[in-house]
Structure 1
Amino acid sequence: MNQDQDEARQSSLPGCYRHPEVHTGISCARCARPICPQCMISASVGFQCPECVRSGSGTGHAPGANRPRTVAGGALRAGDPQLLTKILIGINAVVFLVQQTVGDRFTDAFFLIGRAGIPGFDGPQGVAEGQWYRLLTSMFLHGGFAHIAFNMLSLWWLGGPLEAALGRARYLALYMVSGLAGGALTYLLAASNEPSLGASGAIFGLFGAMAVLMRRMRYDMRPVIGLLVVNLIFTFNPWVGIAWQAHVGGLVAGVLVGIGMVHAPAPRRALTQWGSCVLVLAASLALVLIRTAELI
């Protein structure tokens, strides 16, 4: 009898608006449509449906009102929480495939170098020659299968949680600013004819931001600190031949941007977060200008 009553009670519940065959007693906190466990997304109060989370609209609400946010103020999105991380890995993989297909000519045209002659090119090449794009393009080049495999594994391990915590726009800003800062420090300190390439500066920026985030959330920091220490040991190993400048520059930039992202006061969140990115970029630009003045 109790089982019959329970079945009758469930059959009287409305069906999910996306899965009508699934009866549910939960409704969206914004549009009041019934949602099943598969569709419900946690919000600051109750649950919301994917459409309200994605569009920021709902019955009786202005766009963006009461929209659920991450710890850094990023909007929660329906769909793949690691989409941007997968896109970045895909871009690196495609560029590496082009490197393997076209050969050294392609790599030589886009790796980071201060100022030097490169066989097959007319005249000196490098950032000091006005080729500032090398600070960006070098972030997506790699020197071999082991190099790209290690960097992409690190990006996968760190990128997903950070993308979910920061939101896609802030996460992309962190990645790019850290990579550019690592390139700027390499340009400043490395020999002008020493080439550099790889996503390591951006990856170390993610390490720095992850440490800041984990401390902010009061998580156990031993795993990320241990992994960072191992990476720094390899970084400063003279027999490995790693451009330590990119790692240090990216790490410092990641820590600074990470602090701005996760500790920004709510009333001035956007100003603090994007301001931290601008300040790190400005410092990177200053390093580039100083080094260029020395080389020309």
Structure 2
Amino acid sequence: MDQQPPADRDPSEEGGATRFCYRHPDRGTGIRCARCERPICTECMISASVGFHCPECVRTGAGAGHHPAAARPRTLTGGAVASDPRLVTKILLAINVAVFAAVWLTGRSWLLQDLLLVGRAWDSQPFPGSLTGVAEGQWYRLITSVFLHEELLHIAFNMLGLWWLGGPLEAALGRLRFLALYLLSGLAGSAVTYWMSAQNQGSLGASGAVFGLLGATVVLMRRMNYDLRPALVILALNVLFSLRPGVAWQAHLGGLVAGTLIAVALVHAPRARRNLVQFGACALVLAVSVLIVLARTAALT
């Protein structure tokens, strides 16, 4: 929840435990400009060779003396600041909606049969005939199912979650890191579903990826010293929802764990080894997901 500083206090003063960005007085922050020491939020901070600088120090050249790259705006995690901080979020949302529309316009059956996450072949309703799955080598289903929805309410909830969580995360992490977070969370959710579900149990939806974004949001809010209670309440409600019959809780679990671990590496990586730690964590999540799929496939064949 946003907090307002007292009306009789300058937002940049030290008056309380919570400091507020001098450019956005409604945003609490624990970060200061390394040059002028004014409080700055994630949107205003610009990565420099030493700490973060505010836009004014960069613009006047006061903060650019350490390194030529210091004047280039960077996100909290070292990504490039984009003019449209929601571009990847919009593209992911558009892909999900386009696939959903295609499923309905083509009569729903053949696209679902081709893109659904399923372990191995079956011969039953709702897809009479032979349906091959991941165990038969169709690994692409681990990703295509993340963009696949059948019911309007299902895609509506997932896309609302993607929009609400994706925009702030993309702005804070940068496009490439945000995309890696989303896709790897979705892949991990599919891998855990494949591992823990019945071999002929179909699964679809972006819930695993969205749960990864939810876990990352909690990590980021903790890093920024924001009040975690609203995020934790939302997380608890979603976990309870996952326990309902017919819900693929395995995807939620896999996505949540993967997204949380990746986010910890992204926002807490030491500056000297930032890229190594960040992309190493992504590679680790990918490797574990692949190992889970290989082990499950070996058990089914």
Matches within 5 A, 1:175-254: 175-238=182-245, 241-254=246-259
Equivalent residue, structure 1, for 2:174: 167
When the two structures are superposed, what TM-score results if normalisation uses the length of structure 1?
0.78
Shift of 1:151: 0.2
The letter for the 2-side match of 1:272 is V
Equivalent residue, structure 2, for 1:22: none
Structure 2 distance, partners of 1:128, 1:151, is: 27
Q: Indicate whether 1:140 and 2:147 are aligned.
A: yes
Q: Indicate whether 1:85 and 2:89 are aligned.
A: yes
1:127-153 CA distance string (max 9 Å, x none) = 000000000100000120000000000
Structure 2 distance, partners of 1:107, 1:182, is: 18
Equivalent residue, structure 2, for 1:125: 132
Partner-residue secondary structure (3-state), 1:218: coil
Structure 1 distance, partners of 2:92, 2:285, is: 22
Contact 2:45 2:75 in 1 (8 A): no
Contact 1:70 1:167 in 2 (8 A): yes
Structure 1 distance, partners of 2:177, 2:92, is: 14
Greater C-alpha radius of gyration: 1
The share of aligned pairs that are identical, in percent, is: 56
Structure 2 residues without counterparts, runs of 5 or longer:
1-43, 47-52
Structure 2 distance, partners of 1:42, 1:282, is: 33
When the two structures are superposed, what TM-score results if normalisation uses the length of structure 2?
0.76
Equivalent residue, structure 1, for 2:159: 152
Structure 1 residues without counterparts, runs of 5 or longer:
1-40, 50-57
Distance 1:214 1:42, change over 3 A: closer
Moved over 3 A (4+): 45-49, 118-124
Contact 1:108 1:118 in 2 (8 A): no
Structure 2 distance, partners of 1:46, 1:83, is: 23
Contact 2:119 2:200 in 1 (8 A): yes
Shift of 1:246: 0.2
What number of residue pairs does the alignment pair up? 242
Shift of 1:280: 0.6
